[in-house]
Amino acid sequence: MANDKLASGSRLDEATGTQTVGHEWDGIEELDTPMPRWWLWAFYATIVWGIAYVIAYPAWPMIDRATEGVLGWSSRGQLATEIAEQDKARAATVAALADMPIEKLPDDPALMRAAVAGGRAAFKVNCVQCHGAGAAGSIGYPNLNDDDWLWGGNLKEIEYTIIHGTRQPGGKDTHTSLMPAFGRDQMLTDGQISAVADHVLSLSGRAKPNATGAQIFADNCAACHGADGKGDRQFGAPNLADAIWLYGGSKAQVVQQISNARLGVMPAWGGRLDPVTIKMLAAYVHSLGGGEAFAATAAAPGETAAAQAGAVPQEAGDVRP
Amino acid sequence: MSGPDPLSVLAADAAALRASSRKQRTPPPPPENEPQLYEKRRGVYPQKVQGPFRRFKWLVMFVTLGIYYITPWIRWDRGPYAPDQAVLVDLAHRRFYMFGIEIWPHEFYFVAGMLIMAGIGLFLVTSAVGRAWCGYSCPQTVWTDLFQHVDRLIDGDRNAQIRLANGPWTAEKIAKRAIKWTIYLVISFWTGGAWIMYFADAPTLTRDFWAGDAAPVAYATVAILTATTFTLGGFMREQVCIYMCPWPRIQTAMLDEKSLIVTYKDWRGEPRGSVKKAAKDPGAFGDCIDCNQCVAVCPTGIDIREGPQIGCITCALCIDACDRVMGEIGRPRGLIDYATLDDCKREAAGETPRPAWKTLLRPRTIVYFLAWCGIGLGLLFLLGARTRTDISVAPDRNPPFMLLSDGSVRNAYTIKLRNMESRPRDMAITIDGVRGAMMWTDEMDRADAARSLTLTVPADATQPLRLYVVAPRDTPAQAITFAVRSLDERGERDSGETRFEAPEVNP
């Protein structure tokens, strides 16, 4: 073995007949096995591939942008293509939705499902800021999952609310209602407010009834909220006799609302979103668990629905049958 | 044999074997100042050979290729709701069919278990009979063998092949190459084409493929597999085993001195000398007459007389070749033989070899076999015990609960009912717990809410359900269980437990 040793330590390995590389680590040596020629070819092929790639695709960073490559590919362009393909794939559904009056939507379950899916996506972009990701709202922002509606809960009414919004300045069709700030404007005394708050709470069994409060309620509140406190959707007057409280259901919160009367606003989406998206949003909100059927609500809003129906087509496109 | 690990034992034995035949070693060491960058492939032109091992290889080739090409065409009736192909990997619908067994993605552990069994099976085979996988049933071996038969068919046997390869590009050579490579291409295309049949209904896919209607991935797969078969089987051949495949490297760790390998018995064969020389000088020469038949028939082009080496796939064709020569010159067969290194030592020392069963039945092989059987039985047990009905429940987390105007509390759940049978089945889903709770789906009227709902789940499908559960006013938060029962003769049950959320203090 010693005779095989060369100056650099490289030697011929007896077992394999291959030269070693000349290094040795604790008695372990490495064979200098020549690689096969095809391996070299594969190596050259990767070089050719690399050059071709640099020519074909964006590769070299320049001062303000990268080289573009002769194929003209870009990730932005690929995204645009994919979005265009998606739009094309959705075109038939969108067209069908545009032609479908929202009252007829429940008769077409497949289209309804498509609308709900589309509405879910649009809701995440446009609505979650106030109503929350689960559409559960918060104090001052209505919960859209429950069965309590300020302005009506069938598809048509929801669509109307989305199109025209609530208390939008200048919008003649927007939902508008006003509650006086009984405390701030000194229309009622603190004692009176406390009494009427107790009366309001008593409507849902949270406080004992009191005659004083009932009288104040009859004088000041019943005009909008109704003698029994069940509200009126025509004025967007909340139902005070149920378990749902837009501004909170504790005594302090009720007193606060009577004193200062906060009034929520919602944009009129008719000018911002296309009619199909609005239809899809209405379908989604309706699907959240509290949506009302047309027949059930036909009696309650009565004239309101009829009045609203006339206003819709102008902004939402012709959705009349 | 205690102390050194099997690897070093092998290496030492190999070195000892080689030392005796170093005279024949040809490649001279390259000069130190002229490093060799690469090595050109030396052509391998294996000669035709006949014998028991060759016949065994034919058998294995027919069986394995037969299984590969025919399996996708076997039909298996599963009724109107499932494909009727016996073996089908339905990637699009995420189902794996194998005769009577259907596997869903969440049951993939069956496939994992089968792969583990295949791995342990390889260990078992290797520890018992050496590189039998490499020698007989590895696809690379089988297809290389097939292509080498094509070589012989078109170009003639070894000598004619060498003459043709080294000769100039005459019209004859061009014609022969064109024919041969066309046959390669046809075999390769057939190989790639058969592969895709496992992933779709074979007759339909065949029709679509030729009509140009098949999925692009089908054409791409066929193109890639045709190219790899053509290259790896037609040209790379033993290079794959020697340079690319990790298995031969793993084998060096798997084999020990008690594993069966193809061995040249150097103590019997050396020194080599022709029959003529031996006749002149009896007793001076071993049994090897240096006829080079073992080298000529080797499909990887090695000389087994140099000892165990990574290039030897233990196909045992050299045993056939040597046995024939030994028979012809009237010397005992088995100069090249399946033997363990231990047995070689014993035989060289004149001891009697151990019986074959001792080679096969030893702790290592028994442990592998028991592990293999254990996993197999475990999988069979699971297969028999699995139910084909399943429920999973995901409660809505935003909002976790919903107060309704009458003070009742509503929770929403996404339920998935799984019907793993290939027929539609009626299932009943029932609320367990939460007094007074009623449920309905988003496709039902709330007026029809009930404690128990019955619905039909389509064949071989997962039915998602959006479920609302409403409980009376002041119901506290608590556990809720949804129980599902299949309304058929199997009466399978499953249940999913989750929470029914409610306001902490009802305002």
Give chain B's domain count: 3
* B278 vs A311, higher pLDDT: B278
Residue B4, pLDDT score: 45
* pLDDT at B392 > cutoff 60: yes
Task: Give the one of A10, A36, A242 whose C-beta lies nearest to B243's C-beta.
Answer: A36
Same domain, B201 and B119: yes
Please give the backbone phi and psi of residue A132, each rounded to the nearest 5 degrees, phi first.
Answer: 85, 155
* Res. A17 pLDDT band, cuts 50 70 90: confident
Q: Please report residues of B whose CB lies closer than 8 A to that of A250.
A: 507
B398 CB neighbours in chain A (<8 A) are: 132-134, 136
Q: Which residues pair with B414 in a beta bridge?
A: B394, B466
Residues of B with CB under 8 A from a CB of A: 11, 14-15, 18-19, 22, 25, 27, 29-30, 32, 35-41, 236, 239, 243, 396-399, 402-407, 410, 412, 442-443, 468, 473, 507
- For residues B416 and B482, the answer to whether their CB atoms sit within 8 Å is no
Residue B443, classed as helix, strand or coil, is coil
Q: Are residues B204 and B321 in the same domain?
A: no
Helix (H, G, I), strand (E, B) or coil at B456: strand
Cα(B126)–Cα(B128) distance, rounded to whole angstroms?
A: 5
Q: What is the pLDDT of residue A320?
A: 31
For residues B68 and B144, state if they share a domain: yes
Residues B153, B61 share a domain = yes
Q: How far off is chain B from A204, nearest CA to CA, in Å?
A: 9
Higher pLDDT, A101 or B446: A101
Residue B54: pLDDT band (50, 70, 90) is very high
Model ipTM value: 0.74
Q: Which of A14, A39, A145 sits opposite B399 (nearest CB)?
A: A145
Give the mean pLDDT of B285-289: 89
Q: At what angle do helices A275-287 and A303-316 cross, to 10 degrees?
A: 140
Q: What is the mean pLDDT of residues A51-72?
A: 91
Q: Which helix (H) or strand (E) segment is B185 a member of?
A: helix B171-196
Using the predicted structure, report yes or no on whether residue B16 has a pLDDT greater than 60: no
**Rounded to an integer, what distance in angstroms lies between the CA atom of residue A306 and that of residue A40?**
82
Whether residue B399 and residue A143 make contact (CB cut-off 8 A), yes or no, is yes
A8, A19, A148 ranked by CB distance to B405: nearest: A148
B34 within some domain: no
Both tokens of B306, joined, read 């140099």
Same domain flag for B270 and B249: no
In this structure, are B243 and B272 located in the same domain? no
CA separation for the pair A283, A279 (Å, rounded): 6
For residue range A221-277, what is the model confidence (pLDDT) as tens digits? Answer: 999 999 999 999 888 899 999 989 999 989 999 999 999 999 999 999 998 999 999
pLDDT of residue B505: 61
Residue-level length of chain B: 507
Q: Contacts of residue B15 in chain A, CB cutoff 8 Å? A: 14-15
- Percent of chain B residues past pLDDT 70, beyond the cut: 92
Average pLDDT of B248-273? 86
CA separation for the pair B18, A217 (Å, rounded): 111
Domain boundaries, chain A: 2-31, 78-174+265-316, 190-260
> Residue A179 and residue B197: Cα distance in Å, rounded?
73
In a domain, B341, yes or no: yes
Percentage with pLDDT > 70 across chain A: 89
* pLDDT score of A292 more than 50: yes
User: Which residues partner with B261 through β-bridges?
Assistant: B339
- In this predicted structure, what is the pLDDT of residue B43? 87
In this structure, is residue B61 part of a structural domain? yes
CATH number at residue B493: 2.60.40.10
Q: Tokens 């074997």 label which residue? A: B17
| pLDDT, greater one: B353 or A211 | A211
How many whole angstroms separate alpha carbon B226 and alpha carbon A87?
38
Judge: A206–B468 Cβ closer than 8 Å, yes or no: no
Averaged over A282-309, what is the pLDDT?
63
Return the percent helix, strand and coil in chain B, to nearest 5.
45, 20, 35
B72-113 pLDDT, tens digit each: 999 999 888 889 999 999 988 899 999 989 999 989 899 999
Residues 6+ apart with CB under 8 A from B168: none
So what's the pLDDT on residue A193? 94
Contact A218, A209 (CB under 8 A): no
Candidate from B14, B40, B399 with C-beta closest to A134: B399
E-assigned strand segments in B239-398: 261-264, 336-339, 389-395
Chain B residue with minimum CA distance to A230: B405
Chain A hits for B36, CB-CB cut-off 8 Å, are 34
CA atoms of B285 and B331, how far apart (whole Å): 13
Closest chain B CA to residue A22: B32
Q: What is the pTM of this model?
A: 0.76
- CA distances, A247 to each of A199, A244, A267, B196, B258 (Å): 17, 9, 20, 63, 84
Q: What is the mean pLDDT of residues B154-166?
A: 92
Q: For residue range B210-242, what is the model confidence (pLDDT) as tens digits? A: 999 999 999 999 999 999 999 999 999 999 998
CA R_g for chain A: 36
Nearest CB partner across the interface for A36, out of B39, B405, B507: B39
Q: Indicate the length of chain A as a whole number.
A: 321
Beta bridge pairs of residue B454 = B428
CA gap A220, A189 in Å, rounded: 13
- Residue B159 placed within a domain: yes
For A246, name the nearest residue in chain B, comparing CA atoms only.
B405
Q: Tokens 């939008």 belong to which residue?
A: A168
Concatenating the DSSP letter of every residue in B192-250 gives: HHHHHGGGS-HHHHHHHHHHT-S-HHHHHHHHHHHHHIIIIIIIITHHIIIII-SHHHH
The count of C-alpha atoms lying within 13 angstroms of the C-alpha of A192, restricted to the half-sphere facing its C-beta, is 15
Subunit contact B442:A245, Cβ cutoff 8 A: no
Q: Kindly list the residues of chain A whose beta carbon comes within 8 Å of any beta carbon in chain B.
A: 6-8, 10, 12, 14-15, 17, 19, 32, 34-40, 109, 132-136, 143, 145-148, 204, 206, 239, 242-245, 249-250, 287, 289-290
A244, A254, A292: best to mutate for the B interface, most B CBs within 10 A: A244
Contact B442 A289 (CB under 8 A): yes
> Based on the domain organization, do B360 and B451 belong to the same domain?
no
Tokens of A40: 């070299």
SS (H, E, C) chain A: CHHHCCCCCCCECCCCCCEEEEEEECCEEEECCCEEHHHHHHHHHHHHHHHHHHHHCCCCECCCCECCCCCCCCHHHHHHHHHHHHHHHHHHHHHHHHHCCHHHHHHCHHHHHHHHHHHHHHHHHHCHHHHCCCCCCECCECCCCCCCCCCCCCHHHHHHHHHHCECCCCCCCCECCCCCCCCCCCCCCHHHHHHHHHHHHHHCCCCCCCHHHHHHHHHHCHHHHCCCCCCECCCCECCCCCCCCCCCCCHHHHHHHHHHCCCCCECCHHHCCCHHHHHHHHHHHHHCCCCCCHHHHHCCCCHHHHHHHHHHHHHHCCCCC
User: Which chain A residue has its CA at the smallest distance from B440's CA?
Assistant: A289
- B240 and B298 share a domain? no
Asked which of B332, B365, B398 is the last residue of a domain, the reply is B365
pLDDT band at B18 (very low <50, low <70, confident <90, very high): very low
Q: How far apart are CA B437 and CA B450, in angstroms?
A: 8
Annotation: CATH topology of A190-260 = Cytochrome Bc1 Complex; Chain D, domain 2 (1.10.760)
> 3-state class of B304 per DSSP?
helix
- Cβ contact, residue pair A15, B18, below 8 Å: yes
Within 8 A by CB and 6+ apart from B381, the residues are none
Whole-number percent of chain A with pLDDT over 90? 62
- Determine whether the interchain pair A289/B39 forms a contact, defined as Cβ–Cβ distance below 8 Å: no
Beta bridge partners of B430: B452, B483
Q: A135 to chain B nearest CA, in Å?
A: 8
Question: Is the sign of the CA dihedral A271, A275, A280, A285 positive or negative?
Answer: positive
Instruction: Give the per-residue pLDDT at B474.
Output: 87
pLDDT tier for residue A295 given thresholds of 50, 70 and 90 = low
Sign of CA dihedral B442, B444, B450, B452: negative
Residue B374 inside a domain? The answer is no
- Residue A150 near residue A230 (C-beta atoms within 8 A): no
* Residue A48 pLDDT: 98
Considering only CB atoms, B11 lies closest to which of A15, A109, A143, namely A15
Cross-chain residue pair A34–B236, CB shorter than 8 Å: no
Which amino acid belongs to residue A150?
A: L
In the prediction, which pLDDT does B260 show? 87
**Nearest chain A CA: its distance from B415 CA (Å):** 16
Q: Do residue B507 and residue A8 have CB atoms under 8 angstroms apart?
A: no
Q: ∠ at Cα A133 (A131, A137), nearest 5°?
A: 30
What pLDDT does B36 receive?
Answer: 65
Q: Which residue of B has its CA nearest to A34?
A: B38
In this structure, the answer to whether residues B336 and B485 fall within a common structural domain is: no
- Which CATH superfamily does the domain covering A78-174+265-316 fall into? Cytochrome c-like domain (1.10.760.10)
Q: Do domains A78-174+265-316 and A190-260 have the same CATH topology?
A: yes
Q: Using a CB-CB distance cutoff of 8 angstroms, which residues of chain B are in contact with residue A146?
A: 402-405, 410
Cβ contact, residue pair A35, B37, below 8 Å: yes
Question: Is B483 domain-assigned?
Answer: yes
Q: Do A132 and B403 touch (CB under 8 A)?
A: no
Residues B82 and B181 in one domain: yes
Q: Does the pLDDT value for residue A284 go beyond 80? A: yes
Q: Is B36 exposed, middle or buried (0-12, 13-18, 19+ CB in 10 A)?
A: middle
Per-residue exposure over B214-250, b if at least 16 CB sit within 10 Å of its own CB, e if not: beeebeebbeebbeebbebbbebbbbbbbbebebbee
Whole domain around residue B193: which residue ranges? 6-17+40-254
